[in-house]
Chains A and B, each alone.
Chain A
Amino acid sequence: MFKRRIPLFILAFVGTLLIVSVFIPPMENLGEDFTLFFDIIAVFAFFLGGGNLVRIHFGKLRRRKKDWGFSIVTLVAFFFMLTIGLLKVSSVGGVWNIPLLGIGDPAAIAASPTTEGSWFQETFNYVINPLQSTMYALLAFFVASASYRAFRAKNREATLLLLAAFIILLGRTPFGMELTRWVPESFSVLQIPNMAIWIMNSPNLAGQRAILIGIGLGVVSMSLRLILGIERSYLGEDRG
């Protein structure tokens, strides 16, 4: 009952309500409220993520698992950020504000957490920003070595893929323009940048649209299966 029926009921009720609210304007308000609930629960999901992180790293630390020293880094970083974020610690020109502890200007509690001079924003600027963008920047190297190794014209399909990638890579730089500047204006579609534009607007659009329609239908039918209680894998069950 509690483990299966109630979740199935909640799902069917909320799902149906949100669909129905689109068609019946007086129910719009209720639809908005339920969406707001969803937004608030999303924050609890962030808390769950943080809690889980702390649990895992405390576990590693307690059992002295491999690399447990780095778990200390994670935990210290987590609690440091949480403290300065929740207390809204800021210092501008030597003036400290910690409104929740009654230090400095009490009105600072209303200020944005990402306001200039807040420690939270500074940590974002000098720690999160460089770390996250560098992690993704590394992919530039891997994508280069992958294209060297994997991009070989082994058959007709692979050759087509290669050709399209070639035209796009050349066409999206000024170099591509220089290469085919000699092509007369009335045949301008044969200039590499224009070929790139054409590929994006025609075959790419068609292929992406076919994929989009496929995924769209998938999402729609999955939503319906969920609301009707046919799909129950989110309950940890194999099938309904």
Chain B
Amino acid sequence: MKKSTLIVMAVVVVLFLLSWVLKASALQPEQGSYILRGFLVTFAAFLTLAVMSFLYQDNPFYKFAEHLFVGVSAAFWMCMGFWTTIVQNLIPRLSTSLADYFMVPQRPEGLNLFFYTPVILGILLLMRLSPRGGWISRWPLAFIVGTTAGLNFIRYLRSDFIKQISSTFVPLLGTQWEGIGPFLSNLDLSASGQLVLLLSNWVVFLGVFTGLIYFFFSKEHKGAFGVGSRVGIWILMITFGASFGYTVMGRISLLVGRITFLFGTWLELI
């Protein structure tokens, strides 16, 4: 290891210990397990800063944090899956004694041996880990893909196709005509602003229509069709701009959340 790396490591260790001691003494009056609590808060702050250090360049602290995260979160999902779904939904259907052991209520309809099917398919799925016989995991995979396809077919057709089309049929002529003066002079987003409302309805109707034209590749985008696809691109560009704006917004919020943790929970500056 290089000398500079060792120095950095030493500094980090010293700062960590210092933070632990200070944090623990700050927590002492209010918390019972203040030494542990002080360690945990310091460790969380250390991990936050370790990940942030990636902004400067890749380094061992970042790698440590990254590897820690992978290990801990894989186990987290496994345990949650086991306790919430295997123990509560599967075990009571297969064994009364195991259900009693885990203190989960037995099924009113009694055991259901049909539920060995997912266990067998699950074990076949785990066969993927073995160097040979991995092909048998195609069976549970087919089950997973089949379920997804069966579930999605109707739902997407109803919610993302039929309902979307019907929501696009909006009134394209005003309903409350009060003369040209009020029509032109009230540019309000509320229902009283008829001009804006009409404009919005036209944009929605034409926007969806031309947007779909743009996505239709079976016909060359020429002539009237070409004009439609051109307008479609503009609508989509505005859509992407809006999405980008929102994305920026979201990312900033996450950073605000982390900095608030560092300044608040850890350093208690705010």
Contacts and interface: CB of A to CB of B under 8 A. Distances in A.
Given A134-B51, A209-B164, 10 more contacts: A40-B89, A41-B140, A73-B64, A131-B72, A141-B255, A189-B189, A203-B239, A209-B204, A210-B232, A216-B164
Interface in A55-92: 55, 67, 70-71, 73-82, 85-86, 88
B143 A199 contact: no
Contacts of B77: 46, 49-50
Interface in A13-31: 13-19, 22
B240 A48 contact: no
A18 B89 CA distance: 20
B156 interface: yes
Given A18-B147, A139-B254, A164-B238, A122 B40 contact: yes
Nearest to A224: B153
A190 B189 CA distance: 10
Contacts, number: 428
A140 B66 CA distance: 18
B191 to A, nearest CB: 13
A3 interface: yes
A188 B187 contact: yes
A103 interface: no
Given A38-B143, A77-B67, A126 B44 contact: yes
Given A41-B125, A131-B68, A202-B207, A19 B154 contact: yes
A32 to B, nearest CB: 11
Contacts of B123: 44
A213 B126 contact: no
A207 B207 contact: yes
Contact of A41 (B67, B144, B215): B144
The 6 closest A-B pairs by CB, nearest first: A206-B207, A210-B211, A164-B241, A207-B239, A18-B150, A168-B245
Choose among B79, B126, B187 the residue with the greatest number of A CB atoms under 10 Å from its CB. Answer: B79
Nearest to B60: A70
Nearest to A120: B79
A194 B193 CA distance: 13
B29 interface: no
B38 to A, nearest CB: 11
A50 to B, nearest CB: 5
Interface residues of A, number: 136
Nearest to B68: A77
A220 B158 CA distance: 10
A37 B234 contact: no
Nearest to A79: B75
A37 B77 CA distance: 18
Nearest to A161: B241
Nearest to A132: B69
Interface in A212-240: 212-217, 219-220, 222-224, 226-227, 234-236
B239 A204 contact: yes
B151 A76 contact: no
A165 B245 contact: yes
Given A140-B251, A215-B160, A207 B82 contact: no
A204 B242 contact: yes
B236 interface: yes
Q: In the complex, which of the residues B68, B90, B233 has the most CB atoms of chain A within 10 Å of its own CB atom?
A: B68
B142 A10 contact: yes
Interface stretch (B13-21, B113-121, B172-180): B113-121
Contacts of B245: 164-169, 172
Contact of A202 (B44, B70, B200): B200
A144 to B, nearest CB: 8
